């Protein structure tokens, strides 16, 4: 935290402090909306992937298959705004000096990160909405309103662990190398978590290590949201929370040291 930020935090009344956080979140959202070339692929690529593999190629597999693919490809889509929307932009802004400039501003120190997290949550919500539209209209998937809301909440909150991971990668890699490095994380993790194919179809050693990945635990929550999984869910929530906190702390420590 810079001296200007410490002064801003100590001198601002609570109402102005909240306003500063909200203003930073608003400007962050506007900045990404003005760069559709960056955000549109993040939001539309999962929808295209689901349309091809989750709708067109799975029409004859039954009702449960439709809900399974919606949940799994929903998790696949939610990972993208967290990893790329957070990781790539942070790496580019570090290279360009924007992060250093923001540190010198008299603004609350957490406003920058909060703005990015809210943007990622909004993008994840849009991804789930797009998949729901495709599932209900073209895939003929049957869901109750409660299940749809549960899936939306799972996606909006489930993006946060991937924000933390993207943030950590963004502190390690230069801007030009961040997209390639994140792809090396994103695609293998999706495959090994059983998002593209059910875990029983994968080799046994991949089935055993699937719980290592946060995407596996988010997938279990998404399956429960659409009514395909019964049982205790809090262990999966705890794993995701621990993953998010751990990588957030690592990334914050890295930013303090390296900037």
Measured distance CA(193)–CA(210) in Å, rounded: 5
pLDDT in tens, 57-99: 666 566 678 889 999 999 999 999 999 888 888 888 777 776 6
Contact (Cβ atoms closer than 8 angstroms) between residue 58 and residue 141: no
For residues 41-55, one letter each, b for 16 or more C-beta atoms within 10 angstroms of the residue's C-beta and e for the rest, the string is ebbeebbebbbebbb
Question: Which residues, including other chains, have CB under 8 Å from residue 255's CB and lie 6 or more apart?
Answer: 99, 171
Q: Which two tokens stand for residue 31?
A: 């900045």
Measured distance CA(182)–CA(170) in Å, rounded: 9
- Confidence band of 193 (pLDDT split at 50, 70, 90): very high
Q: Which two tokens stand for residue 122?
A: 């909004």
In the chain, which ranges are continuous DSSP H helix?
3-11, 14-33, 36-49, 63-96, 98-104, 111-137, 145-158, 160-172, 178-192, 204-209, 214-225, 234-258
Measured distance CA(139)–CA(149) in Å, rounded: 18
- pTM of full prediction above 0.95: no
Any idea where the domains of the chain sit in the sequence? 3-258
pLDDT in tens, 217-231: 999 999 999 998 888
């Amino acid at each position: 935290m810079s001296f200007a930020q410490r002064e801003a935090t100590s001198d601002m009344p609570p109402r102005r402090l909240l306003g500063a956080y909200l203003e930073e979140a608003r400007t962050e959202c506007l900045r990404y909306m003005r760069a559709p070339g960056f955000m549109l692929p993040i939001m539309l690529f999962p929808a295209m992937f689901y349309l091809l593999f989750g709708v067109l190629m799975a029409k004859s597999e039954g009702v449960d298959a439709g809900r399974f693919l919606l949940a799994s490809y929903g998790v696949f889509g939610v990972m993208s705004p967290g990893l790329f929307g957070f990781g790539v932009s942070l790496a580019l802004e570090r290279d360009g000096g924007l992060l250093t400039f923001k540190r010198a501003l008299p603004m609350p120190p957490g406003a920058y990160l909060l703005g990015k997290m809210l943007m990622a949550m909004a993008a994840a919500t849009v991804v789930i909405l797009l998949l729901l539209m495709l599932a209900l209209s073209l895939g003929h998937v049957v869901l109750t309103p409660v299940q749809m809301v549960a899936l939306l909440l799972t996606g909006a909150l489930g993006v946060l662990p991937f924000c933390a991971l993207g943030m950590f990668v963004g502190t390690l890699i230069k801007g030009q190398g961040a997209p390639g490095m994140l792809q090396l994380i994103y695609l293998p993790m999706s495959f090994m978590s059983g998002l593209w194919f059910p875990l029983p179809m994968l080799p046994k050693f991949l089935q055993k290590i699937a719980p290592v990945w946060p995407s596996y635990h988010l997938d279990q929550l998404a399956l429960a949201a659409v009514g395909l999984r019964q049982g205790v869910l809090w262990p999966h929530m705890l794993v995701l929370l621990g993953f998010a906190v751990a990588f957030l702390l690592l990334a914050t420590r890295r930013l303090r040291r390296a900037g």
